[in-house]
Structure 1
Amino acid sequence: MSKEDYRDKIEEHRQSFEEETDQTALSRASRLSRNGGNLKKQQKTKRKIPLMTILFIIFILIPSTILIYFLAFYEPGKSIEEAEKDTSGSQVEIENPGDKPDGKVTADKNEKEEKEEKAKKEDKENAKATEQSKKDAEMLAAKEKAALEAKKAEEARKAEEAAAAKRAEEARKAEEARKAAEAKKAQEEAAAKLKTHTVKENENLYRIALNYYGDGSEATLAKIRSANGMSSDSLQVGQVIKLP
């Protein structure tokens, strides 16, 4: 049923009530005239508001007006004063209760679009946060890998330094051992080359020096004394002396 049909139906209903009211008033007036009522009483009766009109206004017209107002002009979240300002000077139209107002449809559409926009925004933010988390994890993994490689390189460097120090120590010890061996060998060779003499009877240090060195000077005698740790030139028969 369209708005115009619904409005026509209400108008016909109202006219039928008015006709019934007029008929009731006429029948009451005719009864008064039959009973000898005067014209003044008839005029006074006509001025009274009929009961059916009052009932029509209370139970049909007022609820219908309120229903039409809420269906046509009321919007959630909008005050009555704002609705009256928006509808001032406009014509009231009766709408089918089954029809949804355009304003409500627009509000629902806007709310749906806002929800979709909000959901898209949240999805975008979630994707951005996921991407940032992925980048942070990759960066952290790269840092940990670099730190591990640096630690391994430092350990390898320390191990190489320790190996080099060990090799140097071994080389030093080998060199010391070689020098000691050479010194020992030199001593042995010197000892092998060193001559000895057993003192015989009637021999003294001067004669021994002449026999071996061909020189009996004080320097030669001092060299013999030094080699044998002697403090004087005195010798004993059978004594073995070194001749450097």
Structure 2
Amino acid sequence: MTNDDFRQKFEQHRKEIAVTDDADDLDKPVTRAELHGRKEPSAKKKQKAGKATGKKKRPKGSTLINTLLILFMLIPISLFIYVYKFYDPIEGGSAAELEQNLEIETSIAGDGAEPPEEASAIADQEEKQKLEEQKQQEDQQKIEEQKKLEEQKKLEEQKKLEEQKRLEEQKKQEEQKRLAEQQRIEEQKRKEEQARIAEQKKREEQERQEKEKQQASRGSHTVQPGETLYRISVNIYGSGDGVEKIKRANGLSSNEISVGQTLIIP
């Protein structure tokens, strides 16, 4: 007997307890058949009993359906909350790539699995290739650094040459200025010297002309035998005081004179 049959039998033999104010119903005796439930209920009572049973208890199938509906409603809500709060597209993409790479490596390892020796040789070769590439990169970097140092050195040397050239040019200009100033000073000195010499010559010429004038105005005397400066001074000036004048006029340093010598008489 199934659960539904048992439930149906139970509902058929169940009696409702009714509380009424009717004294006839309370005083009415209950028959034996009604007491022990042997009397079969009518079709109308069965229908009412079935409706009452459906209203009072729900079958288990409806509960399961309700549970599933609630779950199906909660799943989209949970996904929405997760995406809105916790989902990161970058992390999701990285995880997807990692999983894809893992699947590819797994498939490659599973499809073409090689013996351990060959795998070790391949790994060594790859490691060697990586080391060579790394060495090439380091060498290339060293070459580039060396080129940079050489270029920097060339620039520094060029700057030094330009600075040296500038200093030499400046020194040359200063030397030219100094020489020009020196030439100007020398030329000025030369002109001053020429002017001084010309002035001296002019003065000497004036003195000579003055002497000639004096000689022409005062005359001259030719020394005769037996004459001395003192005697000539006494004859001309009347005393011996004119000796020094005669000596100065003729440029004599002593009193000695010779016969026939022409003396200027001042």
Q: Tell me if TM exceeds 0.5.
A: no
Task: Choose 1 or 2 for highest CA Rg.
Answer: 2
TM bucket (normalised to shorter chain) is: 0.3 to 0.5
Structure 2 length-normalised TM: 0.42
Higher relative contact order (CA 8 A, sep 6+): 1
TM-score (norm 1): 0.45
